[in-house]
């Protein structure tokens, strides 16, 4: 391949090169040798550039540009992590008929529609990563094969936030399955934006129905949360949610508000949490309030959850009453829930 094969536009100093031509060469698996040769010419050229050397330098710069641009496009999800299928343009941000499957019967998610905005060229990769995270969060799945890929996608998300873009992802008609577990959501959405050095987020789930769990009547039918975390910890949160890291990260989350509802029962709260991807090493503290606690106790009994019912009765005894609600200061550490200083027997 000769230098003359490239469309070169004349100008002052180093000419500009048609990068698309260089990209076509890369697609023909000829770029490796050509790039090495152009790099040699650029580095070892004389002080006064001849025209071939100026062109070589321009092509080198173009190759570097293409290399940097290609890194913006998300890598395919590792086969050992998940398989993902959906309809939608590769560079688009709207996807239909989304299907995510974890290997080894680890779980399956389907959604009729998914949208993502604010990611630019990283849209497809971040959309796929978001669906993997949603399924993992719903079924409690962790896989080491997902860790590095999710961290890379998290870095892309952090870069988008740093550039001032807000990320918004939403799904409709979601169904998640794992063994006997079935979870359906009418809609779920997550919005993240940069707030100083933090990433502020809001999460919403509506129309939640669940079966195949020990206490189905206690699962909320809707939930909303507003929280924030250091922007540079977003990649770590993504990797720990569905990955399995050798060294657990410590992601520091501030929960500004949390609300979960089922029938007349409403849970709300706020606080702080340190998340690692494992309950035994995670910790949290804050304030919690429940409206109609008696109905929640009845639901636990209805599902034959005697330990949970007993724990809720103890919690009611040590609670404070406020406007018809029961309130507590709570702490979760080492797998133990402490309510107003009283450890509850949840295990």
Average pLDDT score over residue span 283-300: 95
Query: What does the alpha-carbon distance between residue 271 and residue 183 come to, in Å, rounded to a whole number?
Result: 27
Quote the pLDDT of residue 171: 98
* Mean pLDDT comparison of 21-30, 47-56, 213-222, 276-285, highest-scoring range: 213-222
Quote the pLDDT of residue 153: 95
User: Where residue 266 falls among pLDDT bands split at 50, 70, 90?
Assistant: very high
Q: How many CB atoms lie within 10 A of CB 197?
A: 9
User: Residue 45 to residues 14, 39, 41, 51: CA-CA distances in angstroms?
Assistant: 13, 10, 5, 11
Tokens 């494992």 belong to 278
User: Where residue 322 falls among pLDDT bands split at 50, 70, 90?
Assistant: confident
* pLDDT at 59 exceeding the cut of 60: no
Taking the model in full, what pTM does it have?
Answer: 0.75
Contact present, 245 and 239 (Cβ < 8 Å): yes
Query: What does the alpha-carbon distance between residue 316 and residue 327 come to, in Å, rounded to a whole number?
Result: 9
* pLDDT at 279 exceeding the cut of 80: no
Percent of all residues in the chain with a pLDDT value above 90, rounded to a whole number: 62
Contact present, 150 and 133 (Cβ < 8 Å): yes
Instruction: Pick 165 or 336 by higher pLDDT.
Output: 165
Q: Environment class of residue 50 by beta-carbon count within 10 Å: exposed (0-12), middle (13-18) or buried (19+)?
A: exposed
* pLDDT at 22 exceeding the cut of 70: no
- Which two three-digit tokens encode residue 220? 């909320």
Quote the pLDDT of residue 245: 83
User: Residue 4 to residues 17, 42, 56, 214: CA-CA distances in angstroms?
Assistant: 11, 17, 11, 71
């Amino acid at each position: 391949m000769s230098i003359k094969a490239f469309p070169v536009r004349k100008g002052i100093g180093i000419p500009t090169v048609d990068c698309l031509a260089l990209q076509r060469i890369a697609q023909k698996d000829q770029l490796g040798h050509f790039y090495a040769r152009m790099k040699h010419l650029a580095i070892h050229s004389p002080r006064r550039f001849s025209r071939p050397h100026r062109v070589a330098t321009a092509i080198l710069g173009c190759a570097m540009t293409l290399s940097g641009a290609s890194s913006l496009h998300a890598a395919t999800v590792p086969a050992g992590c998940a398989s993902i299928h959906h309809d939608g343009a590769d560079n688009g941000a709207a996807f239909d008929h989304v299907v995510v499957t974890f290997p080894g019967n680890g779980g399956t998610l389907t959604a009729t529609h998914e949208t993502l905005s604010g990611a630019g060229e990283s849209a497809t990769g971040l959309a796929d990563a978001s669906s993997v995270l949603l399924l993992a969060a719903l079924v409690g799945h962790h896989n080491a094969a997902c860790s590095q890929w999710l961290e890379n996608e998290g870095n892309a998300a952090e870069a988008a936030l740093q550039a001032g873009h807000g990320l918004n992802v939403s799904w409709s008609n979601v169904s998640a399955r794992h063994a006997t577990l079935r979870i359906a959501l009418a809609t779920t959405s997550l919005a993240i934006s940069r707030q100083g050095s933090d990433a502020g987020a809001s999460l919403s789930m509506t129309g939640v129905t669940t079966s195949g769990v020990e206490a189905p009547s206690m699962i909320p039918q809707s939930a909303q949360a507003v929280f924030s975390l250091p922007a540079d910890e977003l990649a770590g949160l993504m990797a720990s949610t569905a990955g399995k890291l050798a060294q657990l990260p410590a992601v520091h989350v501030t929960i500004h508000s949390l609300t979960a509802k089922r029938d007349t029962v409403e849970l709300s709260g706020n606080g702080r949490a340190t998340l690692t991807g494992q309950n035994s090493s995670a910790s949290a503290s804050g304030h919690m309030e429940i409206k109609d606690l008696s109905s929640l106790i009845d639901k636990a009994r209805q599902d034959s959850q005697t330990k949970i019912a007993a724990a809720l009765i103890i919690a009611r005894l040590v609670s404070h009453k406020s406007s018809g609600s029961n309130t507590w200061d709570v702490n979760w550490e080492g797998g133990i829930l402490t309510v107003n200083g009283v450890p509850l027997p949840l295990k």
